[in-house]
Amino acid sequence: MHKIGTAFLTAILGVILLQAPVMAAPPGTPSAPLGVVLAAENANAGVDATYSGATIYDGDRLVTQNIGTMRVRLGTGQIFLHQSTSTQVHAIPNGFSADLDVGSVSVSSSEGQTFQLLADGATISPASSHPTTAQISKISPTEVILTSTRGALLVTMGDEVKTVEAGSSYKMEVESEESDPQQKRRLPVATARNHFILIVIGAVGVATGIIIWRAVVSPNHP
């Protein structure tokens, strides 16, 4: 009986020790920090009011009000939210991604780093590993304005890839093959897809380029 009792107590102790680390871990522990707020006015991260110095985590949704702005450092890159903007940020290898729900953002990457901006089903990213600065504005679920002031951009949707050269501004229009009645009859629903076209708006003026560049770079930027 003594041996049976000892084995029973040993088994109970083993279960308690296995469960102890799990019980000790606080629920809802946040992921590793992704970045830090450099400046904010009338802005939120998730549901909390955001202030300069606040930590940004992977998956946070950043929101500015109609008179608000926010500038965030994400690794060595930066993102600037203009007024009435909402975007969700994530970590990716050598950079960050931002899913733009509404509004306008200015983004920048440093040498060897990158970013991915997701809007209307398209992915916008630097065309090279060189420093890149751009502004992306979501006009509607099918229209985006792309402006590159430093470095070329790649715009990708499915197997389509197009380039926006530095110093230029384009309007991206998303079109569905289902909008073509003849194409809709030829293709089953499962194979229908969207594609996009880029319409040149014009070259970016020096003043516009300086404004976008200053939006994502400050004297405190390392």
Span of 84-88, 132-136, 166-170, 201-205 with lowest mean pLDDT: 201-205
Report yes or no on 210 lying in a domain.
yes
* CATH number of domain containing 91: 2.60.120.1440
Report yes or no on 120 lying in a domain.
yes
> What is the percent of the chain where pLDDT is above 70?
69
The amino acid at residue 108 is S
Decide if pLDDT at 97 tops 90.
yes
Report yes or no on 67 lying in a domain.
yes
Tell me the average pLDDT of the chain: 79
* Mean pLDDT for the stretch of residues 163-176: 91
The amino acid at residue 14 is G
Report yes or no on 191 lying in a domain.
yes
pLDDT at 32: 77
pLDDT at 195: 82
pLDDT at 45: 85
Structural domain total, the chain: 1
Whether the CB-CB separation of 127 and 153 falls below 8 Å is answered with yes
**8-state DSSP, 130:** S
pLDDT at 49: 79
Report yes or no on 11 lying in a domain.
no
Report yes or no on 9 lying in a domain.
no
pLDDT at 188: 41
pLDDT band at 196 (very low <50, low <70, confident <90, very high): confident
- Render pLDDT for 11-54 as a digit per residue (tens, 0 to 9): 443 443 334 443 333 444 456 789 999 999 999 987 787 888 99
Q: Which residues of 45-75 are buried (b: 16+ CB within 10 A; e: fewer)?
A: beeeebeeebebbbebebbbeeebbbbbbbb
Decide if pLDDT at 62 tops 90.
yes
Domain span at residue 133 reads 32-216
- Render pLDDT for 110-127 as a digit per residue (tens, 0 to 9): 999 999 999 999 999 999
Decide if pLDDT at 143 tops 60.
yes
d(CA 144, CA 122): 9
Report yes or no on 178 lying in a domain.
yes
Whether the CB-CB separation of 133 and 108 falls below 8 Å is answered with yes
Whether the CB-CB separation of 97 and 132 falls below 8 Å is answered with no
Report yes or no on 160 lying in a domain.
yes
Write phi, then psi, for 60 (nearest 5 degrees).
-65, 140
Tokens for 153? 């951009």
pLDDT band at 164 (very low <50, low <70, confident <90, very high): very high
Decide if pLDDT at 178 tops 90.
no
Tokens for 75? 């690794």
